[in-house]
Structure 1
Amino acid sequence: MAVYIVTTLLYGPEMDATQALNMGAFNGIAVDMYGEYWRLLTANFLHFGLVHIFVNCYSLYNVGLISEEIFGKRDYAIICLASAISTNLIPLLMYMYNGFEASVVSAGISGVIFGIIGSLLALVYVRRDLTDIFKPLFINVAFMILISVIVPNISLSGHMSGLAGGFFSALLILKYRMKKKNQLLN
């Protein structure tokens, strides 16, 4: 929210792609050609406007509460960081290997939100007995993916990249916890 306040003071309530790029948004060319790898992380904190940040904050609050309660503060932070960094990895690779979306400038925390959802999917993958509890989540994920496909200017590849980052980081955390628990029992 603090970053949005700063960008609003600099550019007004709505930020265009050039302004977002100047503030640290993701762009494949900037990362690949100029080595600006920090954009993989900073882009997550930028938002193009009030509706963008409102929808993301609302979604982050709702899924974040559940995931933080389940995983704990430390592991939740690890999942969020892994999701943030991974959010732009698939878009970067798509640009590097076939020039796909070379001119796209992306920003927002939605990839992390998908990563948090991915962490909950990892939990259900490991603990199949929880499937019924999380059925509404599966419906929401399908709806969010549909929105990512239908609504223009939403990075489906970024969302799926964040989802994968959250899923695999949570899977590692859960496997580590199970291993540690088994060691304590032996």
Structure 2
Amino acid sequence: MFVRTENFRTFIHLYPIVTAIIALQIGLWLIFLIPVPAFSLFFSLFAGFNAGIANGEWWRLITPIFLHTGFYHLFFNTVSLILFAPALERILNRVLFLIIYFGSGIFANLATYWLEPLAFTHVGASGAIFGLFGVYLFMVLFRKDLIDAANSQVVITILVIGVIMTFLNTNINIAAHLFGLIGGFLLGSIFLRSRKTRSPWR
């Protein structure tokens, strides 16, 4: 379920939404590496900035999901998407996957706005990615037909490690991680509780 055996072309064909998200965040990161003042201005305009949201810049609830501050930040979030997002794109469908991914990310950014000071600034896909784990947690607890015991153990182990590291690491948006997880769990309960679907790996 979480082991990638596809080649590059097959991955793109099977998981076009995941591929598009990854390509967009990598492309934006590369663009903003170019030392052009206008690009720095655009980055600051699209980053999550609570004071900007308070002034009506609502797009800052969405655009930070695609932005990353450094290579390792981008790398770990991209690897997480490659490993854990494809299964949900297949179990759900492309539309529901997008709703859950961006819904979780927006919920995480709203929580950041509510809980952090106005001067707080943040970027990254972590809230949306934790939302995917929220969906997996719902599956582990309430839709065991969609995930086997071995993969359930993987999900719980990584989730526990992720939550612990959220509190141990510095410069982590704790609110985004926790509320992204909650948002994904709630959206999973909406879309999967009575949905007649089966895991494609069974």
Give the TM-score taking structure 1 as reference length. Answer: 0.81
Query: Relative to 1, partners in 2 of residues 1:19 and 1:153: Cα closer, same or farther, differing over 3 Å?
Result: farther
Match of 1:89 among 94, 106, 110: 110
Counterpart for residue 168 of structure 1: 186
Residue pairs, 1:43-62, within 5 angstroms: 43-62=64-83
Q: After superposition, what is the alpha-carbon deviation per residue over 1:106-138, rounded to whole angstroms, capped at 9, x for unaligned?
A: 100111110111111122232246472311211
Once structures 1 and 2 are overlaid, which stretch shifts more, 59-68 or 147-156? 59-68
**1-structure distance, mates of 2:72, 2:66:** 15
Give the match's secondary structure for 2:149. Answer: coil
Partner of 2:46: 24
Is the 8 Å Cα contact of residues 32 and 43 (structure 2) preserved in structure 1? no
- Letter of the 2:70 counterpart: G
8 Å Cα contact 1:44-1:107 kept in structure 2 = yes
Task: Figure out how many residues of one structure are paired with residues of the other and give that number.
Answer: 169
Aligned to 2:177: 159
Show structure 1 runs of 5+ residues with no match: 95-99, 181-186
2:7 aligns with none
Contact 1:46 1:107 in 2 (8 A): yes
CA RMSD of superposed structures (Å)? 2.4
Q: Share of identical aligned residues, percent?
A: 27
Tell whether the 8 Å contact from 1:26 to 1:39 is kept in structure 2 after alignment.
yes
Q: How does 1:97-116 map to 2 (within 5 A)?
A: 100-116=116-132
- Structure-2-length-normalised TM-score: 0.75
Cα distance between partner residues in 2 of 1:54 and 1:20: 22
Cα deviation for residue 156 of structure 1 reads 1.1
Tell me if structure 2 keeps the 8 A contact 1:118–1:164: yes
Per-residue CA deviations over 1:45-101 (Å, capped at 9, x if unaligned) read 11001111111100111110222222232221221121121121111111xxxxx43
Question: One-letter code of the match for 1:3?
Answer: L
After TM superposition, give the deviation of residue 104 of structure 1 in Å: 2.0
Asked if the contact 1:21/1:27 (under 8 Å) is kept, the reply is no
Partner of 1:69: 90
Change in 2 beyond 3 A, CA 1:52/1:176: same
